[in-house]
Amino acid sequence: MIPTDKPIGLASDHAGYEIKKYLISLFDAEGIKYTDFGTYSTDSVDYPDFAHKLGAAIDNGECDYGVSVCGTGNGINMALNKHHKVRSALCWNTEVARLVRLHNDANVLTLPGRFVSQKEAYDMVKIFFDTAFEGGRHQNRIDKIPCI
Ligand code: RB5
């Protein structure tokens, strides 16, 4: 399922904490390695603080992939995508989660914690990590993403 030997990086704010906690319980049950960059409770926090920890871990090679969650998914997604090696994709159903791997080679799956169920979240995680990048014309497009 997971196309890397490195731990999956996890990050959320308070609004994404419960979904992240649920995903962690399933990762534990399945023996999937992860690093949880916080937050660690439902106390109110600022999502960039945790997005940048995960983003830095991807930039420095500590993690190849991640999952992030905030309320809408947007704030944490915006902050993550400031990192050079991050392609974080906000997903709301399994077909979008599949396409962001196939077409965008997304390396972070970002979820809107206040708008998806636990089951929907885990179904997206499974399909995200089970889907390989298609390459070809999509590689050309990805190569044009960085600002020059
Ligand atoms: C927190 O209330 C909320 O603003 C945050 O989780 C996220 O939705 C921001 O984009």
The ranges assigned to domains in the chain are: 8-143
What angle in degrees, to the nearest 10, is found between the helix axes of 94-102 and 118-130? 20
Q: What's the chain's average pLDDT?
A: 97
Which ligand 1 atom minimizes the distance to the CA of 16? 6
E strand spans, the chain: 8-12, 34-36, 66-70, 88-90, 108-112
Closest ligand 1 atom, CA of 14?
6
CA of 95 to the centre of ligand 1 (A): 24
CATH number assigned to the domain covering 8-143: 3.40.1400.10
Rounded Cα gap, residues 68 and 141, in angstroms? 24
CA of 140 to the centre of ligand 1 (A): 33
% of residues, the chain, pLDDT over 90: 96
pLDDT band for 2, please (50, 70, 90 cuts).
Answer: confident
Active-site annotation, residues: 70, 103
Question: Is 80 exceeded by the pLDDT of residue 113?
Answer: yes
Atom 6 in ligand 1: which residue has the minimum CA distance? 71
Q: What is the mean pLDDT of residues 101-108?
A: 98
Alpha-carbon gap, residue 93 to 124, rounded angstroms: 6
Q: What is the pLDDT of residues 76-97, one digit of tens each?
A: 999 999 999 999 999 999 999 9
Q: Which residue owns the Cα nearest ligand 1 atom 7? A: 71
Count the neighbouring beta carbons within 10 Å of the beta carbon of residue 88. 28
Residue 96, number of CB atoms within 10 A of its CB: 15
Rounded to the nearest whole angstrom, what is the distance from the C-alpha of residue 71 to the centroid of ligand 1?
4
Give the span between the Cα atoms of 140 and 38, in whole angstroms: 34
pLDDT at 148 over 90: no
Probe target for ligand 1 pocket from 70, 78, 115, with the most ligand atoms within 8 Å of CB:
70
pLDDT over 90 at 15, yes or no: yes
Geometric angle at alpha carbon 17, from 46 and 26, rounded to 5°: 145
